[in-house]
Amino acid sequence: MAVVLQKEKTCLIARLSGELDHHSVRSIREEIDTAVTEQQPSKLALDFSGVTFMDSSGIGLILGRCKVMCGIGGTTVVWSPPAHIKRVMRLSGIERLARIETEPSAEEEETE
């Protein structure tokens, strides 16, 4: 499990890859929270397109980051989860807190 953090204007993008479980979630959580504290982004995007496995530990991760972002007045979105991971997300109702969407393309970003 790995996370690559990227800053785009006021958005912090966390690109996750590999298997997300209770064991791997700990270091990911710390890395994201450290970056959020430093950068104070208005939006946190969790890119799930490279995640190959996720159990409910991943829901805990999203839920926790929503709380952190809420604390600094920002929002959290989830990008492109694979089908079976989306099923776990649907079951949890996490969409009410973090919108699930596809990553906006470069052109869309420019017109925003």
Q: How far apart are alpha carbons 47 and 38 in whole angstroms?
A: 20
Does 92 engage in binding with another protein (CB under 8 A)?
A: yes
Q: Minimum CB separation from another protein for residue 83, in Å?
A: 8
Nearer to another protein, 6 or 52 (CB): 52
Q: Which stretch binds another protein (CB under 8 A): 5-13, 40-48, 61-69, 72-80?
A: 61-69
Nearer to another protein by Cβ, of 90 and 99: the residue is 90
Per CB under 8 A, 10 contacts another protein: no
* 2 binds another protein, rule: CB under 8 A: no
Q: Which is nearer to another protein, 2 or 91 (CB)?
A: 91
Which class for 101: exposed (0-12), middle (13-18), buried (19 or more C-beta within 10 A)? exposed
| 53 lies in the binding site for another protein (CB under 8 A) | yes
- For binding to another protein (CB under 8 A), which residues are involved? 19, 21-25, 29, 53-57, 59-61, 63-64, 83-84, 88, 91-92
